[in-house]
Amino acid sequence: MYDKEAHEEAVKRALQITSMINPLLAGQNPAIFQEPRPPEVVWGEPFYYLERRCHRIVYEALQPLIPLKIDRIMDVTEGIGAGFAGMGEVCGTVSGAIMAAGLDLASRYDDQNLIRLLVSKYTIKLMRSVKKDLGSYYCRDIVGRDMSNWLEEGNKGGWSDFVHDEAAVIRCGKIQEYCIMFPLPFEEDDYLI
């Protein structure tokens, strides 16, 4: 059964993770997420952005709801974030939610074919829902830019523009909250529906 309070707690965990990690990775003042934000703290300054952890934040926020734990899963999935290494494909947040659903299902079933079927059904359901309610599940649509040049010198139009665009970062936060609030497979009455 869906536990809205547990998901709301997961959203709070995601915000804590985000407010602790992202400003530091971006070289921003940690007060950037304070409410109200101090007037001397300017969004995106100072700036050097090392990475985006969208899939990791969602996965770590949902982890307490899932019995199966896999050490170092974040290390082996590092290329998933920001639409697969910044290429703007499927949003890392959506990918993180799909990873969490896969672990949820693998903790409940042994049959690999059944797990494959159920993860596929969940993935389709989540992605259709994200597209219907938020417009797109592609990172490039959500952030409004191509960030595939993030490893290139200069990086004009990519990560540096993104991290300076508070509205784009807020859109990322909205999809993050949406995916965390989305029911995990065990919270559905019948996994096969």
pLDDT in tens, 169-186: 888 889 999 999 999 998
pLDDT digits (tens, 9 = 90+) for 98-147: 999 999 999 989 999 999 999 999 999 999 999 999 999 999 899 888 77
Instruction: Give me the pLDDT at residue 105, please.
Output: 92
Alpha-carbon gap, residue 161 to 86, rounded angstroms: 13
Domain contains 192:
no
Into how many domains does the chain fold? 1
Domain contains 100:
yes
Domain contains 193:
no
Domain contains 40:
yes
Instruction: Give me the pLDDT at residue 120, please.
Output: 94
Domain contains 156:
yes
Domain that holds residue 83: 4-187
Q: What is the largest CA-CA distance in the chain?
A: 56
- Of 52, 53, 60, give the one whose Cα is nearest residue 103: 60
pLDDT above 70 as % of the chain = 78
Least confident of 14-23, 25-34, 171-180: 25-34
* pLDDT surpassing 70 at residue 150: no
Positive or negative, the Cα torsion across 52, 55, 56, 60?
A: positive
Higher confidence at residue 110 or residue 160?
Answer: 110
pLDDT above 90 as % of the chain = 36
Alpha-carbon gap, residue 5 to 22, rounded angstroms: 25
Instruction: Give me the pLDDT at residue 152, please.
Output: 64
The predicted model scores a pTM of: 0.80
* pLDDT surpassing 90 at residue 71: no
User: Helix 92-106 to helix 112-134 angle, to the nearest 10 degrees?
Assistant: 150
